[in-house]
C-alpha cells in the first residue's frame, strides 16, 4: 500500500474520481479483488460477462496480443493483467474491485461509522433498511460520524475506505468529501508522530499522536451548523503558503468587537445568527484567508458551543487558527480546564506555541496561561518554543514571570528548563534584544545553576553579565557573585549559626567577598539593598548590633516595597533586624515592641532563631527595665524549648508569672525525662516563692503560695518516683523560702528521706540527732517523731556504733517524761492511725489484738501510701475527725498530706511516728492515748 497516493487522493476531496481510488491500490491488490468479485458471482452468465469485459479492456489498452490469445487466458491471468493497467476506464471494474476488497473488512471499517450514526448493522453490513436510515441522515451527521470513526482507527486503509464510500456509493456518502482533506492531514500527522524523534524535554507519556484521542465521545453526534462546507470544498485549496504568518487585520479586530457587543447586548449590535453569517461569508469570499477561522472558534467559545469536529476543507492551518480563536474565547470565559482538554487531545493546540506568528501569536498566550494556572511545568516547557518566545514579547514576559515564580517557591528543578527556553530564545534574537530583560534572564538562570550545585558555571555567567550591566543590575550581580564565591546559593541561605565557631566560619566566608559587597553598596541604587542585607548579616555575626541594625533595617525597608519578590526572605530579614534591635541596649520600648512582634511573626512564618542569639535577645531585653520581662513573655509562644531552658536560669525574669506557669506546665509533660521535669519544676518553684514573698495583696499571696505548695508536692512525688534524691535534697537544703510552705520539721523529714535514698546515712543521722534533741527538749508531746523512734531509726543505720547512741539513750532516760499509764476510767477512747502503706497495713490486726484487754480503747487505721492524689484522704480524715480523740501521724505519707492532717488537729491531740515498724506504731498509739486523756476535752468528758 502506497500511503502517499492515498494522501494525494484524499486531499482532492470532492474533486476526487474513481481513477484516484484505483491509483491507491497496488496491482496485486486490484487483481485479487477483481478475481474475488468474479468468483463470487453466482450466475455464470454474469461471470461470463465480466470475463468478456476484462478481455475487451486488455485488447484496448494492451498492444501486441492477438484477440484469440487474450481470449484464451484464464480468469486469474486476465485479472492480473487488468490490475497492472494505469486505469481501465471502466466504472464497473473499479466498483467490483472496491466492493470485493472491502467486503471482508466492514466490521472494522464501516461498523464504527454506523455506530456513531446509531444505525443497526450486522458486522458492518447494511440491510436495505439500514441503507435507508443512512440516506435519511444529514450530510453533516454523515461526515461527522465518518471523521469520528477514522479517529478511533486512524489507518491508511480506513482513509482509503472513506474515499471509496464517497466515490462508489455517492448516495449518501458523497457527504464525506468535506472531511477527506482532514483525514489526509491527520494521517500525515500519524505518520510523522510515529517516525519523528521525540522532544527530549517532553515526557514520553505526554506525546499524543493525532487521531489516537479525541475530545468527542463515540456515539454522540454533535450538531454543527451548515456553513456551506460541501459547496466550498471544491474551491478551497488544501493549504495556504502564508496562512501561518498572517496577522489579524483591522477588519478582524472590528469583528471581534462586534462579537463582544453582541454578547453584551449592546444597542444595534448584531445577533448570534448575523455574526455566524458574517463569519461564514468571510470564509467563503477568500479560501486562502485562514485567519477568518479564528473568528469561527472565538464565536463558538463565547457562545458556549462545543468545539467543531470538522471545518470546511479543513487542514492543519485552518485548525490552528480555529483553535487559537477558541482558546481566546474560552479564556474570556475563564474556562481554563476546557483549554487544557483541547491541549491534551488536539495536536494543533499543542503546536500553537511554536513560532509566535499567525495563529501561534494569537493563541499561544491563552494556552500558556491555562497551563500556568494548573502548574503543568513540563507541558509549558514543551509548548513555549524558543522561536515563539524570542519573537513574541508578551509570551516571553509570561514565561519569565512563571519561571521567576517557580524560583520564589524554591522549585528550582522546575525553573531550570523554563529559563533554558528563555536563554535559547534570547540568544537567537538579533537586533531587538532588551538588555534589561536579557540581564534578568541570565541572572535568574545563574540562580538555577547555583541551586543545582554548578557554582563555577553560575559565577562565569554572572561575570559575563557584569560586563554589560547598568548599575541597577550591577549591584545585584556583584552580590550574587560574592555569595557564590562564599559558597551560598542565595540571600535566603544567610542563616545564623547555632554556635560561636559556626558564626565565625560564616563570617570568614563572607569576608572573602567583602570588596564586592562594599562596591554594590556604594553604587547606591535600589538593588543595593542586597548588599546592605549581606553587610548587616555580617555585622550580626560579630555581635556588632548597632551596625547590624542600621544596615539590615535599610535592606528590609527596600524589601518591603516588593513583598511578592522577597516573600520568604522578608520574614527572615525582619527577624535578623529584630535580633539586633533587642540585643542592643539603645532601643526604646516602642521599637522593642515592634521588634518582638517581628520575631513572633517571623518564627511563625518559618524563620529560625538559634539559641546562641536567643540568649543575646534575652540579655538585651532584661537590661531594658521598661519593657524587658513583658517582651520576653511575648516570646514564650515562639521560643520553643530552648527559650525556657534559657529563662529558667535567668533570675531577672523570676517575677514573671507567665514564665513560671510555662515552666510548671512543661514540668508536668510525661514525655520529658525525669531530670528535665525536676529542673523545670525546681525553677518554677523558686519563681513562685519569690513572687509570693514580694506579693502585697494577701489574696494573691495566698493563691501564689498554694501554687508553690502544689509544685513542691509534685517535686516530692517525682523525687521518689524517679529516685532523684540528690536534686531534691539540694533544693530543700538551699531554698530558705520553703518555710512559707513547710515547717522546719517537715523540711528536715523530707531531707532525711532524700539523704537515705542517696545512701548518705551520716548526713541523715546528723539531722535525726538534731531532731532528737529538739523533741526531748520540748515539753509537749505533739512532735512529728518520738525520741524512741529516732533512736530506733539511728540503730538501723550502717556504722550505728559510731553515732553515740548510748549517750542519747542516757539523755532520754534523764529527761522528764509524760505519763503513759493506762487510765483507770472506763471512758471510751478512739485513736486513728493515719499514713503508711501495705507494709504497715499488715500490722493492723496484731496491733488491735494487743489492745484487746482494753475494751475502752478503739484503734482504727487510714493507710494513705505515697499517692499523689491525697486530696481524697484529706476529705476522709475531715469526715472521721469528729469521732476520734487523738491521731497518730505516720511519716510514711506525702509531706503535704501530713501538714494538712496536723493542721486539722487544732482541737485534737496528735503524735508523730517516724519509725515504720510495729513497735514504733504501738509506742505512738500509747502516747496518743495519754494525750487524749490529758486533753481539755477529755477532762470535760470525765
pLDDT per residue over 284-302, tens digit each?
A: 777 778 888 999 999 999 9
pLDDT per residue over 339-360, tens digit each?
999 999 999 999 999 988 899 9
pLDDT over 60 at 431, yes or no: no
Q: The whole model's pTM is what?
A: 0.53
Higher per-residue pLDDT: 567 or 302: 302
pLDDT over 60 at 899, yes or no: yes
DSSP category for residue 122 = B
pLDDT of residue 508: 94
pLDDT of residue 447: 86
- CA-based diameter of the chain, in Å? 167
Beta bridge pairs of residue 889: 834, 912
pLDDT of residue 14: 83
Confidence of residue 236 (pLDDT cuts 50, 70, 90): very low
Q: Which three cell numbers stand for residue 42?
A: 453466482
pLDDT over 60 at 91, yes or no: yes
Confidence of residue 824 (pLDDT cuts 50, 70, 90): low
Alpha helix positions (H), 286-332: 292-302, 316-332
Average pLDDT, the chain: 84
Higher per-residue pLDDT: 255 or 235: 255
- With CA atoms as reference, report the closest residue to 576 among 480, 551, 509: 551
Contact between residue 90 and residue 118 where contact means Cβ atoms under 8 Å apart? no
883 burial level (CB within 10 Å; 0-12, 13-18, 19+): exposed
Confidence of residue 217 (pLDDT cuts 50, 70, 90): very low
Residue 172 preceded by cis peptide, ω within 30:
yes
Indicate the SS3 state at residue 838: helix
Contact between residue 343 and residue 213 where contact means Cβ atoms under 8 Å apart? no
pLDDT over 70 at 816, yes or no: no
CA dist., res. 571 & res. 576, Å (int): 9
pLDDT of residue 183: 86
pLDDT of residue 177: 86
pLDDT per residue over 658-700, tens digit each?
999 999 999 999 899 999 999 999 999 999 999 999 999 999 9
pLDDT over 80 at 387, yes or no: yes
- Name the strands in the sheet holding 886-890, side by side, starting at the edge strand that comes first in the sequence: 857-862, 829-834, 886-890, 910-913
Lowest-confidence region among 255-269, 301-315, 575-589, 753-767: 575-589
* CA neighbours closer than 13 Å in the CB half-sphere of residue 683: 28
pLDDT over 50 at 248, yes or no: yes
Give the residue-averaged pLDDT of 584-591: 68
Amino acid at each position: 500500500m502506497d500511503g502517499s497516493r492515498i494522501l494525494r487522493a484524499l486531499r482532492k476531496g470532492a474533486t476526487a474520481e474513481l481513477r484516484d481510488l484505483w491509483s491507491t491500490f497496488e496491482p496485486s491488490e486490484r487483481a485479487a479483488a477483481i478475481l474475488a468479485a468474479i468468483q463470487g458471482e453466482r450466475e455464470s452468465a454474469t461471470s461470463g460477462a465480466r470475463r468478456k469485459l476484462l478481455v475487451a479492456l486488455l485488447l484496448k489498452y494492451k498492444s501486441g496480443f492477438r484477440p484469440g490469445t487474450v481470449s484464451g487466458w484464464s480468469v486469474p491471468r486476465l485479472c492480473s493483467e487488468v490490475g497492472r493497467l494505469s486505469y481501465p476506464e471502466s466504472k464497473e471494474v473499479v466498483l467490483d474491485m472496491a466492493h470485493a476488497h472491502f467486503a471482508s473488512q466492514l466490521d472494522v471499517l464501516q461498523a464504527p461509522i454506523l455506530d456513531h450514526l446509531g444505525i443497526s448493522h450486522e458486522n458492518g453490513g447494511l440491510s436495505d433498511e439500514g441503507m435507508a436510515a443512512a440516506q435519511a441522515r444529514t450530510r453533516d451527521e454523515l461526515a461527522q460520524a465518518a471523521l469520528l470513526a477514522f479517529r478511533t482507527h486512524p489507518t491508511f486503509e480506513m482513509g482509503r475506505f472513506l474515499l471509496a464510500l464517497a466515490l462508489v456509493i455517492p448516495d449518501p456518502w458523497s457527504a464525506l468529501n468535506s472531511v477527506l482533506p482532514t483525514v489526509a492531514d491527520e494521517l500525515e500527522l500519524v505518520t510523522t508522530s510515529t517516525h519523528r524523534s521525540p522532544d527530549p524535554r517532553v515526557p514520553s507519556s505526554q506525546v499524543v499522536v493525532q487521531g489516537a484521542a479525541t475530545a468527542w465521545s463515540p456515539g454522540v453526534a454533535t450538531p454543527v451548523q451548515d456553513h456551506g462546507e460541501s459547496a466550498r470544498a471544491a474551491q478551497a485549496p488544501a493549504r495556504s503558503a502564508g496562512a501561518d504568518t498572517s496577522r489579524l487585520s483591522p477588519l478582524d479586530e472590528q469583528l471581534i468587537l462586534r462579537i463582544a457587543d453582541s454578547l453584551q447586548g449592546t444597542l444595534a449590535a448584531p445577533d448570534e445568527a448575523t455574526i455566524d453569517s458574517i463569519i461564514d461569508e468571510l470564509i467563503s469570499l477568500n479560501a486562502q484567508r485562514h485567519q477568518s477561522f479564528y473568528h469561527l472558534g472565538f464565536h463558538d467559545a463565547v457562545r458556549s458551543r462545543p468545539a467543531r469536529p470538522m471545518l470546511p476543507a479543513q487542514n492543519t492551518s485552518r485548525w490552528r487558527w480555529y483553535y487559537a480563536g477558541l482558546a481566546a474565547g474560552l479564556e474570556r470565559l475563564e474556562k481554563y480546564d476546557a483549554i487544557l482538554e483541547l491541549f491534551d487531545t488536539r495536536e494543533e493546540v499543542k503546536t500553537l506555541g511554536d513560532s509566535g506568528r499567525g495563529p501561534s501569536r494569537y493563541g499561544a498566550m491563552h494556552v500558556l496561561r491555562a497551563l500556568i494556572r494548573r502548574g503543568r511545568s513540563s507541558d509549558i516547557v514543551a509548548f513555549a518554543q524558543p522561536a515563539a518566545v524570542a519573537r513574541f514579547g508578551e509570551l516571553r514576559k509570561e514565561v519569565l514571570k512563571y519561571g521567576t515564580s517557580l524560583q520564589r517557591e524554591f522549585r528550582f528543578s522546575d525553573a531550570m528548563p523554563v529559563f533554558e527556553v528563555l536563554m535559547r530564545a534570547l540568544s537567537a534574537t538579533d537586533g531587538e534584544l532588551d538588555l534589561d530583560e536579557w540581564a534578568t534572564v541570565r541572572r535568574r538562570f545563574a540562580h538555577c545553576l547555583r541551586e543545582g550545585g554548578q557554582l563555577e558555571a553560575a559565577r562565569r555567567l554572572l561575570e559575563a553579565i557584569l560586563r554589560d550591566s547598568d548599575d541597577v543590575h550591577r549591584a545585584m550581580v556583584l552580590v550574587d557573585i560574592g555569595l557564590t564565591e562564599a559558597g551560598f546559593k542565595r540571600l535566603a541561605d544567610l542563616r545564623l549559626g547555632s554556635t560561636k565557631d559556626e558564626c565565625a566560619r560564616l563570617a570568614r566566608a563572607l569576608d572573602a567577598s567583602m570588596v564586592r559587597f562594599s562596591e554594590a553598596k556604594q553604587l547606591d541604587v535600589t538593588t543595593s539593598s542586597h548588599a546592605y542585607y549581606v553587610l548587616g548579616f555580617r555585622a550580626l555575626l560579630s555581635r556588632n548590633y548597632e551596625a547590624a541594625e542600621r544596615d539590615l533595617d535599610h535592606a528590609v525597608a527596600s524589601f518591603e516595597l516588593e513583598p511578592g519578590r522577597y516573600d520568604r526572605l522578608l520574614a527572615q530579614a525582619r527577624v535578623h533586624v529584630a535580633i539586633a534591635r533587642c540585643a542592643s541596649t539603645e532601643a526604646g520600648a516602642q521599637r522593642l515592641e515592634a521588634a518582638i512582634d517581628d520575631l513572633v511573626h517571623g518564627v511563625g512564618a518559618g524563620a529560625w532563631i538559634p539559641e546562641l542569639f536567643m540568649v543575646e535577645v534575652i540579655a538585651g531585653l532584661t537590661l531594658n527595665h521598661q519593657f524587658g520581662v513583658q517582651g520576653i513573655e511575648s516570646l514564650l509562644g515562639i521560643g520553643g524549648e530552648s527559650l525556657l531552658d534559657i529563662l529558667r536560669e535567668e533570675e531577672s525574669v523570676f517575677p514573671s508569672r507567665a514564665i513560671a506557669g510555662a515552666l510548671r506546665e512543661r514540668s508536668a509533660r510525661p514525655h520529658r525525662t525525669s531530670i528535665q521535669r525536676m529542673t523545670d519544676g525546681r525553677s518554677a518553684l523558686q519563681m513562685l516563692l519569690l513572687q509570693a514573698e514580694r506579693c502585697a495583696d494577701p489574696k494573691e499571696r495566698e493563691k501564689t503560695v498554694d501554687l508553690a505548695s502544689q509544685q513542691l508536692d509534685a517535686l516530692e512525688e517525682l523525687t521518689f518516683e524517679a529516685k532523684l534524691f540528690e536534686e531534691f535534697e539540694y533544693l530543700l537544703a538551699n531554698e530558705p523560702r520553703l518555710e512559707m510552705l513547710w515547717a522546719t520539721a517537715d523540711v528536715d523529714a523530707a531531707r532525711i528521706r532524700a539523704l537515705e535514698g542517696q545512701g548518705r546515712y551520716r548526713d541523715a543521722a546528723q539531722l535525726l540527732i538534731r531532731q532528737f534533741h529538739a523533741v526531748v527538749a520540748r515539753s509537749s508531746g505533739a512532735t512529728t517523731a518520738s525520741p524512741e523512734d529516732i533512736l530506733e531509726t539511728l540503730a538501723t543505720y550502717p556504722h550505728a556504733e559510731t553515732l553515740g547512741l548510748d549517750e542519747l539513750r542516757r539523755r532520754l532516760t534523764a529527761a522528764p517524761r509524760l505519763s503513759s499509764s493506762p487510765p483507770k476510767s472506763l471512758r471510751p477512747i478512739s485513736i486513728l492511725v493515719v499514713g503508711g502503706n501495705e507494709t504497715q497495713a499488715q500490722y493492723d490486726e496484731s496491733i488491735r489484738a494487743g489492745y484487746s484487754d482494753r475494751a475502752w480503747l478503739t484503734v482504727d487505721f487510714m493507710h494513705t501510701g505515697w499517692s499523689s492524689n491525697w486530696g481524697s484522704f484529706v476529705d476522709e480524715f475531715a469526715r472521721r475527725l469528729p469521732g476520734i480523740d487523738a491521731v497518730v501521724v505516720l511519716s510514711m505519707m506525702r509531706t503535704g498530706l501530713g501538714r494538712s492532717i496536723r493542721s486539722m488537729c487544732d482541737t485534737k491531740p496528735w503524735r508523730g511516728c517516724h519509725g515504720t515498724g510495729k513497735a514504733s506504731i504501738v509506742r505512738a498509739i500509747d502516747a496518743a492515748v495519754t494525750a487524749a486523756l490529758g486533753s481539755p476535752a477529755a477532762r470535760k468528758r470525765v
